[in-house]
Every structure is written in C-alpha cells, then in structure tokens.
C-alpha cells in the first residue's frame, strides 16, 4: 500500500520507517526542512535504539522517502497518517491541536477520492469527528474516511512496539476503512497481535485512559513511599508484595522520582480539561491528585538532598546521574531529573550533570547547568551524588572505586534501582525515597580527591523495613481491593 506520514518527529519517523520495513511504500512529510534533510540523509534527529538501522534499511530499499510537499504526498498516498505532536496548551491544561489542524488543512484540498486519513496523535475525544466535519467543509466532493489508530510506543522500545505491539486499536465509521486498516497491518496481525475494532471516540479515549491509569499507578506507589518514610517501612518490599497480586501486577509499580516525558504529564491534564468541557470533570478529578503527587516527588527529592548536605545547598557540589526523563532515550521533555537538578542549582549548589545520550538536549533545556562527559568528572569533589535516571550504566558503577573521587560519599537513589547494600559496604551513606535509613558499613567521613575511572559492580537484594507488612495491607485497602 502507499502511505504518507505527516509529522516526522519521534512518533512519525518511527512509524514511517516501520511501515516501510513491513513492505509498504511510504512518504514522510514535514514542514521542517532541516529534519527532512536529516532523515533523508540517514541522520536521525533523536536517539532511539534500533531506529537508525531501520531507517537505513528502508531508505536503501527505496520504499521510504521524505518530502516537505503536502500536495505531492496527498497525490501519492492512499492512507494518510497524522503523527504530529499535541503538547499542552500554554493557557490551559488542554491539548494544543494546531498541528493536527494544520495537517488537515494542508492535506484536504489535494485528497483523492476514496482515501483514508488515520490519526495516531494523542488527542481529546471528539477530535476525529471534528476532523471529518472539517474535511467535508474543505473538500465536500471527496469520499474520504477518517479513522483513529492511537500509538502506544515506549521510548527506548519504539521500533519493537510498532512492529510487535501488544494490541492494535482502530476506530472507524465504515467497513471500508476497517478493511483497509486490516490489510495495512496484515503482516503484523499474522503474528497474532490482537486487533480491536471500535468507533473513533473509543479509540481516542483508549490512549488517554491507558496513560492516565499508568500515571495513577506510579503516583499511588509514590504516595505509599511517603507513608513508608513516615513509618520506617520499605516501599520496595511493599511494591513487590503488591505486585504478586495478579489483579495489581508489578509493572509501573516502581517508586521513585515519578513520571515525566512528552506523554503522561500532558495527557492526564488534557483528559481532565476535556472532561471539564464535557461536564464530567468530577469523574476524573482524582487525576489532579495524581499530577500533584508526581510533582511532589520532585520537591521531596530536593528537600531530602538538602538535608543530606547539611540543610543548605550554598557552596555545595552536587553530582546528578541522569538527565533524560527515562533510560534509553535522549528526551528531556518534562524530565524529573533535569527539573530536580535545576531546582538544586537555583538553591545555591554547583550542579554537574551526566547522561549517556541526553547531554545535548539537556544543555539546550538548562544551559546554566554544568555537564560532564563521564561519571568521574560529574562526581569529582561532590558532596552528594543523586541518581535520577535509571540507566543500567549507573547500576553497574562500582561504589568502592567511585568513593575516592567524591568529597563526601553520600548517594541519594531517587529511582530505587541501585544496590544500596553494595554502596553501604563501600562506606557510602545511602538514602532512597520510601526506604529505611541505614548506616554505612565502612567509614563515611569526607575522602581525599582522586580520579580513578569507575568500573562495574554486582547487585544484591534489598532489605525489609519493620512495618512493611502493615503497609502492604494498608495499600491494598487504599486501592479498594
């Protein structure tokens, strides 16, 4: 089939390359000439494992190309995907749909009869219906269908999630559109991927509902982490015990700094804004609390870091491990790690940030911070090390080799993925959100400055706080189970 993909950002570029990889002829369309030139030259404008190889392969095959001409794309394609961003508006919690509307306005005058427009962008419910009305106004003679096919990509796994998704949700209003989508995804469906056929409104809601549920799950365990801090219980054991319940599950029940990125924060806000427009805002009012708990985790991390350096950041050197909002990505949009680093710097600390791939984007977002090429440089002379993005590289750090590099061997694990017993055995003072305090096994006084390169170390199981069993029962009760 001949497809076009309007918008060649993170979603659109990956979708275009993957659709070409399964055999379709694809044209990617964007108004950004620099981005189009970069993609056409096999230079991805973002980091995503496996994407560059897919891009090179499909460009070389001739099945993928890029253009800045909507008219040429409209004449080429039978199915047109809308994959542009829908960020939060500057004046409200609502989604900014100007990008979506711009694609419709550019595409409609050139549409061939019998075409299909498919939205993949995350939009408020009712958007597909509004777009269909708009197309009928702009191109009344065109027999064009509108469908919605939300994406469920995880950054760091986008290629995998496109080619082997957990499900395909397609909302259509005609059997013709439904059949077209089944033909389009036939190579993926043959692998047994569920195909959920529904109406456009339900398809639009699926994505926002999924993100809101995941956000609520993260904020729930983070709320329990604060209760654990007040009682001496261990949130990691609590999460493990809750996760054994098949009704709950362990995934996304990970206590720590909270969620960020370009999806979860803006999507829960967009859903609350749309619910208010529909007059059902009370039905999703809990999402305001989900959002507030998430923001509170960042403030709690800053407060705990301040305590660990003696009550004031003035004159202190803080090393931050991680700038991306999640590992295996260079995306710093609404990054909790970068937000915490900036807050600490504004409070008077000298902050050095390291990240395996996100440094360039972090520099653009927070140019006043200092950035290090390696972990040793970031930690040299540090009064505190903050672990803020759960890259596997940081889990492999040998704390015994890192200890002589810092001034004071103190680490705050805001992601709860470090082996704190290993760090304590190397003489570090360790803290983590929702976990009991424990004294280091070795000397914890300030160390002389040296700069050996960090190497890898092993992992060991976490301990259990004295009141964790009580918290397990309390948490299950709070979820109404």
pLDDT digits (tens, 9 = 90+) for 113-158: 889 999 999 999 999 999 999 998 998 877 899 999 999 999 999 9
Q: Give residue 327's pLDDT.
A: 96
Find where tokens 């259990």 sit: 464
Domain extent listing, the chain: 2-198
Alpha-carbon gap, residue 276 to 271, rounded angstroms:
9
Phi-psi category of 7—alpha, beta or left, where left has phi over 0 and alpha has psi -120 to 50? Answer: left
Alpha-carbon gap, residue 233 to 238, rounded angstroms:
8
Q: Give residue 442's pLDDT.
A: 57
- Rounded to the nearest 10°, the torsion over CA 73, 77, 81, 83 is -20
Q: Give residue 439's pLDDT.
A: 66
Reported in sequence order, the residue ranges of 257-371 that DSSP labels E, i.e. its strands, are 317-321, 350-354, 370-371
Alpha-carbon gap, residue 125 to 131, rounded angstroms:
12
To the question of domain 2-198 being in CATH 3.40.50.620, the answer is: no
- Which positions are catalytic? 263
CA proximity to 230, closest of 430, 474, 460, 444: 474
pLDDT tens series, the chain, 481 aa: 999 999 999 999 999 999 999 999 999 999 999 999 999 999 999 999 999 999 999 999 999 999 999 999 999 999 999 999 999 999 999 999 999 999 999 999 999 888 999 999 999 999 999 999 999 899 887 789 999 999 999 999 999 999 999 999 999 999 999 999 999 999 999 999 999 999 999 999 999 999 999 999 999 999 999 999 999 999 999 999 999 999 999 999 999 999 999 999 999 999 999 999 999 999 999 999 999 999 999 999 999 999 999 999 999 999 999 999 999 999 999 999 999 999 999 999 999 999 999 999 999 999 999 999 999 999 999 999 999 999 999 999 999 999 999 999 999 999 999 999 999 999 999 999 999 887 677 554 444 333 333 333 332 233 333 344 444 444 444 444 4
Alpha-carbon gap, residue 414 to 394, rounded angstroms:
12
Instruction: Please state at what angle helix 98-107 crosses helix 127-138, rounded to 10 degrees.
Output: 30
- Rounded to the nearest 10°, the torsion over CA 403, 405, 409, 413 is -90
Alpha-carbon gap, residue 27 to 29, rounded angstroms:
6
- SS3 sequence of 231-244: HCCCHHHHHHHHHC
């Amino acid at each position: 089939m001949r497809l076009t993909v309007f918008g060649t950002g993170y979603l659109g570029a990956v979708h275009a390359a993957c659709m070409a990889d399964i055999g379709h002829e694809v044209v990617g369309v964007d108004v950004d000439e620099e981005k189009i030139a970069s993609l056409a030259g096999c230079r991805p404008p973002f980091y995503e494992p496996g994407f560059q190889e897919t891009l090179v392969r499909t460009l070389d095959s001739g099945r993928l190309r890029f253009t800045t001409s909507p008219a040429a794309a409209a004449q080429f394609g039978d199915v047109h995907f809308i994959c542009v961003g829908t960020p939060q508006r500057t004046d409200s919690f609502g989604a900014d749909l100007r990008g979506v509307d711009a694609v419709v306005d550019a595409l409609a005058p050139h549409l061939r009869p019998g075409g299909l427009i498919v939205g993949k962008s995350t939009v408020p419910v009712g958007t597909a219906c509004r777009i269909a009305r708009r197309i009928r106004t702009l191109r009344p003679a065109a027999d064009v269908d509108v469908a919605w096919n939300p994406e469920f990509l995880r950054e760091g796994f986008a290629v995998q999630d496109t080619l082997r998704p957990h499900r395909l949700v397609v909302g259509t209003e005609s059997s013709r559109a439904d059949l077209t989508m089944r033909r389009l995804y036939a190579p993926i469906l043959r692998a047994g991927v569920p195909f959920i056929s529904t109406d456009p409104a339900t398809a639009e809601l699926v994505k926002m509902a999924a993100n809101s549920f995941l956000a609520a799950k993260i904020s729930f365990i983070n709320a329990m982490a604060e209760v654990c801090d007040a009682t001496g219980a261990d949130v990691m054991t609590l999460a493990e015990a809750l996760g054994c319940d098949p009704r709950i599950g362990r995934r996304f029940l990970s206590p720590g700094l909270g969620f960020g990125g370009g999806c979860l924060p803006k999507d829960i806000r967009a859903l609350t804004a749309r619910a208010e427009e529909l007059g059902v805002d009370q039905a999703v009012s809990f999402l305001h609390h989900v959002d507030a708990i998430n923001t509170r985790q960042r403030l709690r991390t800053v407060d705990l870091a301040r305590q660990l350096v003696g009550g004031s950041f003035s004159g202190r050197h803080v090393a931050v491990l991680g700038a991306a909002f999640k590992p295996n990505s260079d995306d710093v949009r609404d990054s909790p790690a970068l937000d915490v680093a900036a807050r600490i710097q504004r409070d008077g600390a000298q902050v050095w940030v390291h990240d395996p791939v996100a440094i360039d984007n972090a520099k653009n977002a927070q140019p006043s911070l200092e950035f290090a090429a390696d972990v040793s440089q970031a930690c040299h002379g540090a009064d505190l090390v903050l672990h803020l993005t759960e890259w596997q590289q940081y889990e492999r750090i040998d704390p015994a080799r890192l200890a002589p590099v810092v001034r004071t061997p103190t680490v705050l694990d805001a992601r709860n993925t470090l082996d704190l017993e290993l760090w304590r055995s190397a003489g570090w003072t360790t803290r983590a959100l929702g976990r009991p305090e424990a004294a280091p096994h070795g000397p914890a006084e300030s160390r002389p400055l040296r700069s050996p390169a960090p190497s890898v170390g092993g992992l060991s199981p976490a301990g259990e706080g004295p009141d964790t069993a009580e918290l397990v029962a309390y948490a299950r009760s709070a979820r109404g189970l």
